[in-house]
Every structure is written in structure tokens, then in C-alpha cells.
Amino acid sequence: MEIYSQAPVIRISGGIESSGFVGDIGYGISSSEDPDGDWGSFYGTLGYEAYSLDDNYFQGVKMNINASILFVQMGVNISYINGNEKWKTVFKPEIGITYAGLITLSYTYTVGNVTEFFPENYNRNGFHLAFNIILE
């Protein structure tokens, strides 16, 4: 497979999770195996993530890896988050719909044992809107 384009990307995302909000910003690389970038793309970013859940604040480093084919995007988010004077690795698979990999509406589900880290009523489901700004 030949890569037709590769460019830096800035990802800005916000969403609703359980009993609060989450936002992140990241910088990474985007690549496409289609000359126009319409059929499929891949990107990965490393950035900063912050949560506000039930008046508790969490923040940390986030790695995001996604691939899109046509209008479907799948990926994974891995975060190393600090909150309540503890650190925790949080793993979230992601699936969504996208327009050319630039705008994405996605669903995430938190995997693993987070019951002692996040607030009691954290239900693991999240909905996010992300914008990818390609810097060419």
C-alpha cells in the first residue's frame, strides 16, 4: 500500500461522559492511502486531557490512534490520568462516524477497573465530537 499524503494534525475534542465533561487537545500525524483522502485515513496524536466529573477534576496525558474508512472511524484512546491524588491508566475503544477524518462524532466505553478512581456514578459511556485540523 502506498501512502499518498502525510501531514501534521491537531486534534481538538470535547464530550459528555457519565456525570460530567471531558476535553482534550493533541498533536500528531495524519496519513492517507487514498490520493484525495476520502476513502481512508489514519492518525495518531499525543496530548492533554481533562475531566470534570461530579465536581472532581482529573487531568493527564492522552494517546489517540484512529483509522477511518469511508464514513466509519474506529480507534482507541489511552490516557494516564491524575485525580484524587492517584494516577490511573484509562483505556477507551472508540467507534464513530466521520466526514473525511476531519469531523467525528463518536461513542467510547471505558474498559477496566475504574470504580475506585472515578466518582461512584461513573457509567463508562461517553459521546464525543472531535475536530482534526490538518496542517499542510
DSSP-assigned letter for residue 111: B
The range of the structural domain enclosing residue 100 comes to 5-134
Half-sphere exposure of 116 (CA within 13 A, CB side): 6
DSSP-assigned letter for residue 55: T
Q: What is the CATH number of the domain that holds 109?
A: 2.40.160.20
Say if strands 125-134 and 86-99 run parallel, antiparallel, or are unpaired: unpaired
Per-residue pLDDT of the chain (136 residues), as tens digits, is 455 568 899 999 999 987 789 999 999 988 876 655 556 788 899 999 999 988 889 999 999 999 988 899 999 999 999 998 899 999 999 999 998 778 999 999 999 888 889 888 888 999 999 998 888 7
Number of domains making up the chain: 1
pLDDT tens string 58-91: 999 999 999 988 899 999 999 999 998 899 999 9
The neighbouring-strand residues paired with 12 are 25, 131
